Amino acid sequence: MSRHLNVTAGGSKDPKPLSEISFSCLSNIRLVATDMDGTLTRRGKFTAALLQALEDLAASDIKVLIVTGRSAGWVSGLSSLMPIAGAIAENGGLFFPSGNQKPVTLTPIPDLVNHRQHLATAFRQLQKKFSQIQESADNRFRITDWTFDVAALNPSELQTLDNLCQQMGWGFTYSNVQCHIKPQGQDKAVGLLQVLCEYLPKYSSEQVVTVGDSPNDESLFNQSYFPVSVGVANVLEYMNQLQYQPAYVTTSAEGEGFCELSSYLLKRLEIPKSQAVPDLL
Ligand SMILES: [Mg+2]
């Protein structure tokens, strides 16, 4: 089933430091929906501290869902190897539950061969204007979208690519690593809301914190759907390009920023509400 949301602008304010988040807000959180590249990684790799944070969250019954633009092929392997509740691939295209359960296609693709051919045609059209763009290494492992490396494309060029995709009937987004030609209406928020509704219905929006670092995470920062959102510090370089901004921002960048959030969540669980000074950290 696919759901199309009417995402509207507004309600986005400058993010506050994560240190200003309230006790009550933190102690409600039971599920972390997080981007991967630039948010869990540090210079492109997972660290021992990140894996420990994921283990500690799981041990405290705080579920972690990865919501990434990476391909179905990559996410299939990653989701089965990491201590997480599941992973959403291709910016909301597919859901990989934990364990060895079958993946779920969130964006229906009736004819896969035809779909890939149409995406390839759209990419060739973009190459006519931007001859330097190269197909990403993981593009062959994709189902719903088509990717090329973000390389040295500047904001104006990225806007032109977005416009060209829209003219061809496709959506477009980009992260710190890749550009995506994708079905219109497919984004991280749409995919995450669908997964929460159908597979994790016990979590209310106040129990979810969304985390990211890049323009392809902006729908996760839409406070109409996710009232508690966090950007790791490197998100600040994209502030002018985000339609929605995170509610809070960490002091540290990349995976260290995620670990900062994780330690806030775990510390709050250790303090009984009766002993906490309300909303003072
Ligand atoms: Mg990212």
Cα(128) to centroid of ligand 1, in Å?
Answer: 28
Cα(270) to centroid of ligand 1, in Å?
Answer: 30
Structural tokens at position 239: 């502030």
Cα(61) to centroid of ligand 1, in Å?
Answer: 25
Structural tokens at position 181: 């030609």
Beta strand segments in the chain, E:
16-17, 31-34, 63-67, 86-89, 94-97, 104-105, 146-149, 171-174, 178-182, 208-212, 228-231, 248-249
Cα(54) to centroid of ligand 1, in Å?
Answer: 17
pLDDT digits (tens, 9 = 90+) for 2-12: 333 333 344 45
pLDDT digits (tens, 9 = 90+) for 45-74: 999 999 999 999 999 999 999 999 999 999
Cα(119) to centroid of ligand 1, in Å?
Answer: 23
CB 87 within 8 A of CB 79: yes
Q: What is the pTM of this model?
A: 0.88
Cα(214) to centroid of ligand 1, in Å?
Answer: 5
CB 177 within 8 A of CB 38: yes
**Quick one: what percent of the chain has pLDDT higher than 70?**
91
Closest CA to 98 of 195, 202, 210: 195
Collapsing DSSP states into helix, strand and coil, what is residue 127? Answer: helix
Which residues partner with 94 through β-bridges? 89, 105
Collapsing DSSP states into helix, strand and coil, what is residue 12? Answer: coil
Please, what are the domains in the chain? 16-106+187-271 (3.40.50.1000), 112-182 (3.90.1070.10)
